[in-house]
Amino acid sequence: MKIAVSIGDLNGVGIEIALKAHKEIKEFCHPIYIIDDKMLSLASNLLEVEIPKDFETMEVDNIFNITPSKPTKESGKYSYDSFKKAVNLAVQKDVDAIVTLPINKEAWSKADISFKGHTEFLAEHFQKEAIMMIGCEKLFTAFFTHHIPLKDVPSKIKEKNLINFLVDFYKHIKEKEIGVLALNPHAGDNGIIGDEEKTIEKAIKKANETLKDKIFIGPLVPDTAFTPHMRKNFNYFVCMYHDQGLIAVKSLYFDESINVSLNLPIIRTSVDHGTAYDIAYKGKNPSTKSYINAVKEAVRLIQKKQRYII
């Protein structure tokens, strides 16, 4: 199975992780790293790490000076171009999936890239609502809204949109029971603290009617949703906004968690950490767990897709 690895921001830890994990990764897939050989050489010299002989690359038309630990216009543009090439390879079926190493949103902004991140690009590119799911096999959280200001979240909770989200999410993961979090404290306390829960409750009911099964349970009180007792009942949760799920995932499984984009015509997984500028190019030995898990999940999704086609 061929997997295109979008190299991420070269001023961060992504390239070090890719080089460090290559030996393990190649045991279960054929990775193709979307990076120019000259940039790879510059990075490996700064890291004082030898490039594996079987480290297959694909050229990106942009050469610049690496500035460790800083978001720059050049690094933003390069990470964006690497990502776009990986997506195109998947669309053309030259690879079976893509795995993305971390970008920096400030660097993308400096490069005048209009998208806030990978997920927003994918949604625009494919004209589909990409579903962001983050976690690991012990706990996965999906976000009805993600990279928007918190003040804008309530106005986004529309019944029809949430029904579509829930049904699409189920079609991709096929879990028997999925918890759906409320928006407000105490799940709104019957409208005393907020009334968004009425919309969420209606959406849950209609999604279950569409699926002809009681798949979605909620709205769940957010402050108890991720307690050990609740996680005995649910492994997958739908959250109304980004931090509602990520605080739990990153507190419990920071090193292990990954990012998966669902509801798209291509398979895309990613590390669930940033560029870690504070340790980039400093010999701090960054963890490869998230990256390896992301590649393994991509392989699992490829195999699942192949079984479905057959």
The percentage of residues in the chain with a pLDDT greater than 90, rounded to a whole number, is 89
The dihedral sign for the CA sequence 67, 69, 72, 76:
positive
pLDDT tens per residue, range 261-274: 999 999 999 999 99
The percentage of residues in the chain with a pLDDT greater than 70, rounded to a whole number, is 98
Out of 149-158, 236-245, 293-302, which region has the weakest mean confidence (pLDDT)? 293-302
Q: What mean pLDDT is predicted for residues 242-246?
A: 95
User: Which residue(s) pair with 139 in the sheet?
Assistant: 136
Distance (Å, whole) CA 308 – CA 302: 10
Distance (Å, whole) CA 181 – CA 245: 9
CB 184 within 8 A of CB 193: yes
Out of 125-129, 234-238, 275-279, which region has the weakest mean confidence (pLDDT)? 125-129
Q: What mean pLDDT is predicted for residues 6-33?
A: 98
- How confident is the model at residue 67, as a pLDDT? 97
Same domain, 46 and 112: yes
CB 300 within 8 A of CB 205: no
Same domain, 191 and 239: yes
Q: Using 50, 70 and 90 to split pLDDT, how confident is the model at 119?
A: confident
Indicate the pTM of the whole model.
0.87
Task: Identify the domain containing residue 40 by its residue range.
Answer: 1-128+264-310
Q: Which of 306, 239, 241 is nearest to 267 (CA)?
A: 306
- How confident is the model at residue 292, as a pLDDT? 97
What CATH number corresponds to the domain at position 292? 3.40.718.10
Q: Which of 141, 262, 157 is nearest to 203 (CA)?
A: 157
* Domain end among 223, 240, 261: 261
Same domain, 204 and 276: no
Distance (Å, whole) CA 261 – CA 270: 8
Same domain, 95 and 140: no
Average pLDDT of the residues of the chain: 95
The count of structural domains within the chain is: 2
| pLDDT reading at 307 higher than 70 | no
- How many separate helices (H) and strands (E) can be counted in the chain? 11, 10
Q: What mean pLDDT is predicted for residues 35-49?
A: 97
What is the distance between the terminal CA atoms of the chain, rounded to a whole angstrom?
16
Same domain, 57 and 30: yes
Rg (CA), the chain: 20
Q: Which of 214, 226, 203, 206 is nearest to 176 (CA)?
A: 214
Give the phi and the psi of residue 216 in degrees, each rounded to 5: -95, 130
pLDDT tens per residue, range 134-192: 999 899 999 999 889 999 999 999 999 999 999 999 988 888 999 999 999 999 999 99
- How confident is the model at residue 172, as a pLDDT? 86
Same domain, 97 and 110: yes
Same domain, 110 and 158: no
pLDDT tens per residue, range 62-88: 899 999 999 999 999 999 999 999 999
Same domain, 161 and 102: no
CB 111 within 8 A of CB 50: no
Distance (Å, whole) CA 21 – CA 289: 9
- How confident is the model at residue 94, as a pLDDT? 98
pLDDT tens per residue, range 189-228: 999 999 999 999 999 999 999 999 999 999 999 999 999 9
Q: Using 50, 70 and 90 to split pLDDT, how confident is the model at 308?
A: low
